[in-house]
């Protein structure tokens, strides 16, 4: 199975170089948000058929919000959401455009072989 994570700052159209696992690996869950200076993120998990390096078709997308206080190294990861209306409401138009462009240009045959409902999640 192929999978890939893109981690966006909530307002940015280009993802960070770090993945969710890399950024949140060394953090503790925040028990209380008082006194924290939280940065907001959108984490997108993509899955597909194929091997770990090359997808043959994209199959699933999950999105969640996350917050992190980078100084105190505490944060919140919300549950993953996988329904089309949730994904479209959580991602900005620019983030969806980035993902569609990346998927279609990085592995064009996988994009072509992907079902329409998956492609529709990234459409305007």
Domain of 52 in residue numbering reads as 2-121
Question: Of 36, 41, 49, which is closest to residue 22 (Cα–Cα)?
Answer: 41
Q: pLDDT digit string (tens) for 48-94?
A: 999 999 999 999 999 999 998 888 888 888 999 989 889 999 999 99
pLDDT tens-digit profile of 23-37? Answer: 887 777 777 777 888
Stated pTM of the model: 0.90
Count of domains forming the chain = 1
The pair of three-digit structure tokens given for residue 98, joined into one six-digit string: 């980035």
């Amino acid at each position: 199975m192929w999978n890939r994570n893109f981690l966006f700052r909530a307002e940015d159209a280009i993802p960070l170089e770090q993945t969710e696992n890399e950024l949140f690996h060394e953090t503790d869950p925040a028990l209380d948000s008082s006194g924290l200076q939280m940065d907001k993120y959108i984490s997108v998990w993509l899955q597909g058929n194929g091997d770990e390096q090359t997808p043959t078709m994209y199959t699933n997308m999950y999105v969640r919000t996350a917050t992190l206080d980078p100084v105190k190294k505490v944060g919140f990861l919300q549950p993953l959401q996988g329904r089309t209306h949730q994904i479209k409401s959580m991602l900005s138009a620019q983030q969806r455009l980035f993902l569609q462009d990346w998927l279609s240009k990085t592995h064009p045959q996988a994009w072509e072989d992907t079902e329409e409902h998956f492609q529709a999640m990234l459409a305007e």
